[in-house]
């Protein structure tokens, strides 16, 4: 059985490893290596970051929000990150984490969640669309990875319970 709980600083080594596994796929992010805890901690909403844990107390995945802007008018808008450990993919852990993150974000007053996903990352595209995200744009050649320009699909989920719909 998989459960979710708040991500704690002691979880960082496992979370960092799962992030590194995602980076290694070449289809999760333009980042080339995970940051140090301090940088990651400062850039993510502390009350809206979760880990999925199995019966053996192993962290199987994580999800978190990053504010899109420091401007107060965007206080209810955040970017979603969902990463699943390579040994646990295909077990619906991403769905569990994303659903939990959406519910908790709405309780915290977030009205818009967005995600930037490579077209090649079919599993992530499907996961987000299944959970109410829709494609609103395409950021062509937004960054280089190993000398190759990469484009990103921009997806958005508007809350049906927070904000103006």
Structure tokens of 122? 């079919």
pLDDT at 96 (0 to 100): 98
Tell me the per-residue pLDDT of 44-57, one tens digit each, with 9 for 90 and over. Answer: 999 999 999 999 99
Residue 118: which of 86, 148, 90, 76 has the closest Cα?
A: 148
- Average pLDDT rounded to a whole number, residues 60-82: 90
What is the chain's mean pLDDT, rounded?
Answer: 94
Instruction: Please choose, from the candidates 80, 141, 125, 126, the residue with its C-alpha nearest in 3D space to the C-alpha of residue 106.
Output: 80
Total residue count of the chain as it appears in this document? 165
Beta bridge partners of 156: 114, 134
Residues above pLDDT 90, as percent of the chain: 90
pLDDT band at 165 (very low <50, low <70, confident <90, very high): low
- CATH fold of 3-158 reads Aminopeptidase (3.40.630)
What are 94-124's pLDDT values in tens digits? 999 999 999 999 999 999 999 999 999 999 9
Q: Kindly report whether the global pTM for this prediction surpasses the value 0.75.
A: yes
């Amino acid at each position: 059985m998989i459960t979710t709980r708040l991500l704690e600083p002691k979880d960082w080594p496992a979370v960092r490893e799962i992030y590194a596994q995602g980076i290694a796929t070449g289809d999760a992010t333009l980042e080339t290596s995970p940051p140090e805890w301090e940088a990651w901690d400062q850039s993510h909403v502390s009350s809206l970051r979760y880990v999925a844990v199995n019966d053996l107390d192993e962290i199987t995945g994580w999800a978190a929000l990053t504010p899109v802007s420091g401007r107060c008018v965007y206080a209810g808008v955040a970017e979603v990150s969902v990463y699943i450990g390579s040994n646990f993919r295909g077990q619906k852990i991403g769905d569990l984490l994303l659903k939990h993150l959406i519910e908790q974000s709405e309780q915290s007053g977030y009205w818009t969640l967005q995600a930037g996903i490579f077209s090649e990352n079919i599993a992530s595209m499907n996961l987000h669309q299944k959970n109410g995200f829709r494609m609103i744009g395409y950021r062509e050649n937004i960054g280089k990875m190993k000398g190759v320009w990469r484009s990103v699909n921009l997806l958005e989920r508007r809350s049906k319970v927070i904000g103006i719909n």
